Each structure stands twice: as C-alpha cells, then as structure tokens.
C-alpha cells in the first residue's frame, strides 16, 4: 500500500509525506514542495532496514473534461513510482499510482 499525505493544506510549507509497506515493514519519505526539474529527473532515495528504494515523480496529464471544480483548473495529479534498488543489477518496481498532491512547485 502507498499512502501520500499533504500535511496541513494549501498554505503549509512542510514537505509531503509518502509512506509505503514492503515486506513486514513500513517506510516513509518526505518530499519538499519546492522541487526542480533535476529532482524530477533523478528522484529520491530512501535507505532503511537493509533496503534501498528509488522514488520517482512525474506530472500526470488529466483530460480537461475530467477536472472538477475542486481541481481549480490546475494539473494537480502526479504519477509516483517506487522501485526497490537494493540489488543494483535487478531494480524492481514495487508500487506505482497517481496522487493528487496539488502544491508541488517546479522551480525551474
């Protein structure tokens, strides 16, 4: 299971919290809201309990007719993917899906 949490709403400057389960353990990663194209290109790594994960994020297009009033006309949707890269020769995707974090700001 992957869970993405926006801490306190629109004006909160704290990072987003991404949590996931793998095996018997839960893992978490905080992702800052102000990100760069380089951040999006390289992703974020998390090492814990002998495992190493790579988290990637990319903007996800949403058809205009599927946007609701709640979306405020913004492309608020992102595709998140989590890969287990503990064994550098055999990376495997352990989870992926869309998230509707609306306050990522790509800074460049």
In a domain, 15, yes or no: no
Give the pTM. Answer: 0.73
**Residue 92 belongs to a domain:** yes
- CA dihedral angle for residue 94, residue 16, residue 19, residue 88, rounded to 10 degrees: 40
CA 16 from centroid of its chain's CA atoms = 8
For residue 73, pLDDT beyond 50: no
pLDDT of residue 7: 52
Is the pLDDT confidence value at 3 over 90? no
Containing domain of residue 68, as a range? 33-106
Q: Give yes or no for residue 108 having a pLDDT over 50.
A: no
CB 17 within 8 A of CB 10: no
Residue 4 lies in a domain: no
Q: How many domains, in total, are found in the chain?
A: 1
């Amino acid at each position: 299971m992957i869970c993405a949490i926006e801490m306190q709403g629109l004006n909160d400057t704290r990072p987003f919290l991404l949590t996931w389960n793998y095996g018997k353990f839960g893992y978490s990663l905080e992702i800052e809201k102000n990100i760069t194209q380089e951040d999006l290109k390289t992703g974020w790594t998390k090492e814990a309990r002998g495992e190493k994960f790579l988290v990637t994020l990319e903007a996800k297009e949403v058809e205009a007719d599927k946007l609701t009033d709640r979306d405020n006309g913004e492309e608020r949707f992102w595709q998140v993917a989590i890969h287990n890269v503990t064994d550098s020769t055999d990376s495997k995707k352990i989870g992926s899906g869309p998230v509707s974090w609306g306050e990522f700001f790509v800074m460049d």
